[in-house]
Amino acid sequence: MKATFMTMQRLRTTTLMLGCGAAMLVLPLSASAQDASAPGIGFEVGLGGMVAPSYEGSNRYLLSPYPIISFNYLRLSNGFSLGGGDNEGLNFRPSFRYIGERDAGDEPALTGMEPVDAAIELGAGLKYTAGPVSVFGDVRYGVSGHHGIVAEIGADYLIEPVSRLTLSAGPRLSFASADYMNAYFGVTPAESITSGYSAYSAGGGLKSVGVAVNARYDFNDHWAGEAGASWNRLVGDAADSPLIAAGSKDQYTARIGLIRKFQIGF
């Protein structure tokens, strides 16, 4: 498993993300804890470092910054609310993912393949918690880079060995539509000629199976730290792609980050 520093092009992209994350972290620090039933919004922003494959299916690993954005609750004066409370039962949440540009100029294994633009996926998810067990599902649509649909389902078992420290672990399943699969795993006839890979059209369905472990420590009401690691194995049409023969079906990630918590009343 090889590791390398990112190219200048990717460094510019992630530096932009770093700047955006830093800007969010310096939002007015006057935001303070609100009454548990008062109208308002609670959210978290932060920034961390991640080691992950340079593209999905690669065996090259990059160290890069990543943004942390999470929604905790929304309470309106008319009594409508989302999230909050003790997190027991069913909760709704927005879902977001950023995927960096995939450029053959940065990846020798992709020589002859057309680039895939940076992608932003937007969607929503549901999470059900009962005691130490949570199950969740997220669905997102690619508004740029690709125009496919992706979905993830999983479960976590949570423990709190000491005050303020939360540990969780559980299985993950990832699904994707044919539009997504062909954007990242397909090889067009034209690309087959320029790259030497066999032409390949990928269908939608189960994309990967894996497991994730996470740790979070809440320093106080305003700051928290998190760390995590995951392993995912590509399966189905993703694993059968000729591009994976030059990479790896096994995908590993590790990350650590710092979080700023905000509770703003209306």
Q: What is residue 12's predicted lDDT score, i.e. its pLDDT?
A: 36
pLDDT tens-digit series, residues 136-179: 999 999 999 999 999 999 999 999 999 999 999 999 999 999 99
In the predicted structure, residue 86 carries a pLDDT above the cut 90: no
Of the candidates 45, 109, 101, 99, which has an alpha carbon nearest to the alpha carbon of residue 72?
Answer: 45
- What is the C-alpha R_g of the chain? 20
**Phi-psi label, residue 239: left if phi above 0, alpha if psi -120 to 50, beta otherwise:** alpha
Q: 69-73, 193-197, 247-251 — which is least confidently predicted?
A: 69-73
Q: What is residue 193's predicted lDDT score, i.e. its pLDDT?
A: 97
Q: What is residue 192's predicted lDDT score, i.e. its pLDDT?
A: 97
- As for how many domains the chain has, the answer is 1
Q: What integer is the mean pLDDT of 122-134?
A: 94
Tokens of 99: 């995927």
Tokens of 232: 């995912």
pLDDT tens-digit series, residues 201-238: 999 999 999 999 999 999 999 999 999 999 999 999 99
Position 191: which residue type? E
In the predicted structure, residue 263 carries a pLDDT above the cut 80: yes
CB 65 within 8 A of CB 21: yes
As a whole-number percent, the residues of the chain with pLDDT over 70 amount to 85
Tokens of 256: 């650590």
Say which CATH number the domain at 182 has: 2.40.128
Q: What integer is the mean pLDDT of 173-187?
A: 98
CB 43 within 8 A of CB 262: yes
Greatest C-alpha distance within the chain:
63
Q: Provide the pairing of β-strand 60-75 with 81-83.
A: antiparallel
Distance CA 229, CA 213 (A): 6
Q: What integer is the mean pLDDT of 247-262?
A: 97
In the predicted structure, residue 249 carries a pLDDT above the cut 70: yes
Q: What is the mean pLDDT of the chain?
A: 86
pLDDT tens-digit series, residues 20-43: 443 333 343 334 445 567 889 989
Q: What is residue 10's predicted lDDT score, i.e. its pLDDT?
A: 45
As a whole-number percent, the residues of the chain with pLDDT over 90 amount to 70
Q: What is residue 34's predicted lDDT score, i.e. its pLDDT?
A: 53
Cα 158 to chain centroid distance, Å, stands at 20
Domain span at 99: 2-32+39-265
